[in-house]
Amino acid sequence: MSRVESFLSKTGSNIQSKVDLTKGTLAWSIRAIKKAKEDPTFINATIGSAKNDDGSLMVLPTLNKIMADKLSGDKLFGYANVRGIISFIDAWKEETISSYPLELQEKARKMSSTPVPVSGGLTGGLFIVGAAFFDKETPLISPRARWGNIDNVYYKHLGVPEITFTMFDDAGSVSWEGVKESLDLAVDKYEKIGLMLNFPNNPMGYAPNQKEINELIKIIKNLSTPTILLLDDAYEGYVYEEEGLNHSLFPHVLGVNENVLSIKVDGPSKKYFAYGSRLGVITLEKIKADKEFDAREFLAKAARSVSSSAPRGIQEGLGFILSNEELKKQIRQEKQEAITILKERFLTFKNELKKYQSDKITPVNSNAGFFGFFILHGLNAPEMGDKLMKKGLGTVPFYNERTGLNGIRVAFCSVSKERIPEMVKTIYETAASMK
């Protein structure tokens, strides 16, 4: 045992031995940024931040302007109310609900708690939900293809038991068989369980269609074990094909089963292209039988006891914009323009895919989000990631020996439409050259 290990807590030991920042998205992104500095023709498709065609970060002008010009020092630097800045939480709730289908809006208004902003982006929200609702005996069932920080927060830091289901078969199509099997397995063994869903999905870029949602709801309706249904809505609304769910699953699952508590985690990171604003937002399903439970107060206590109050500036900025009709219209318009650019890139990506055939890689049938994903057959994802990097394309390999995940993620959100054909060509040519 090293000297420092005698000082570490069990959690500290888990963090030290299990969390590895040298292999995930950030590590591949750092390599790509370095390469791009040496080679101006390098394509960096590693990171989930939307970029303009010239490589600069996409920013919403109205948000930028209000943050820079309209917020006084106290609004930027003062402590925020730990229960959230009122203008922000009211506007956030309404803006989110207004994205739901009309027939679900009233239910959502009645059955959603007041949203509570927390520090540390969506990750902060996911951690607080983990600490407040999961024990070492509460497994989290999550899709095999998932954002790597779910592993860091839940399975490695918090030590929650891991159950993984496969959502996409090897042909790249959705199936709920895997989630059904995992739920059956978990309910036999545990007294309380958790299920994490993330749509549009990172890394697969998928949002389910109505038929798939109906099937999923049927599964959720049948649960007789207390279940935390955790919705990671980081990419809410980035949907490019008609059939994909273009809003959160939250209003669809509210009230469908008394044994299920749905929790929505979202935030401005991707929703308002404000990645560094470090604000997460948690909304709980209101429990009918539990009128005494003050969800807002509970969440505020959970957040306060981890990292005090959440950043104030971004709450003030978004609160100011979303509670002013003119500015709200403006920012919606700017977001729509950004989504149009992302959609053009997505459609170019999908079109290019049609030109190639390979028995070594299968693109997932994506329709949403910031990413495309290739399932590999007989190739090793990190090896392919290395080769692509050398050929001038930065991607993120997703590889997990235990779960069998083996694929390459490309962030089309940060590649100009003009360079997407080259990106797809490089992927197919590289796969063809590998044994």
Ligand X SMILES: Cc1ncc(COP(=O)(O)O)c(C=O)c1O
Strand order in the sheet with 227-232: 116-119, 279-284, 260-266, 227-232, 193-197, 140-143, 162-165
Q: In the complex with ligand X, which residue's Cβ is closer, 172 or 267? A: 267
Residue 69 DSSP symbol:
I
Residues with Cβ < 8 Å from 6, sequence gap 6 or more? none
Q: In the complex with ligand X, which residue's Cβ is closer, 313 or 392? A: 313
Residue nearest to ligand X (CB): 121
Angle made by CA atoms 102, 317, 26, in degrees to the nearest 5: 90
Rg, the chain, Cα only: 21
Q: In the complex with ligand X, which residue's Cβ is closer, 363 or 369? A: 369
Q: In the complex with ligand X, which residue's Cβ is closer, 67 or 379? A: 67
For residue 159, what are the CA distances in angstroms to 78, 137, 162, 188?
35, 9, 9, 20
User: Could you tell me the smallest distance in angstroms from the CB atom of residue 289 to ligand X?
Assistant: 31
Residue 288 DSSP symbol:
T
Phi, psi torsion values for 57, nearest 5 degrees: -70, 135
Q: In the complex with ligand X, which residue's Cβ is closer, 282 or 431? A: 282
User: Could you tell me the smallest distance in angstroms from the CB atom of residue 1 to ligand X?
Assistant: 33
Q: In the complex with ligand X, which residue's Cβ is closer, 232 or 352? A: 232
> Under the rule (CB under 6 A), what is the footprint of ligand X?
48, 121-123, 147, 198, 202, 232, 234, 267, 269, 275, 280
Does residue 374 contact residue 361 with C-beta atoms inside 8 Å?
yes
Nearest to 62 by CA among 273, 360, 285: 273
Phi, psi torsion values for 62, nearest 5 degrees: -65, -45
User: Could you tell me the smallest distance in angstroms from the CB atom of residue 232 to ligand X?
Assistant: 5
User: Could you tell me the smallest distance in angstroms from the CB atom of residue 307 to ligand X?
Assistant: 13
User: Could you tell me the smallest distance in angstroms from the CB atom of residue 377 to ligand X?
Assistant: 25
User: Could you tell me the smallest distance in angstroms from the CB atom of residue 228 to ligand X?
Assistant: 17
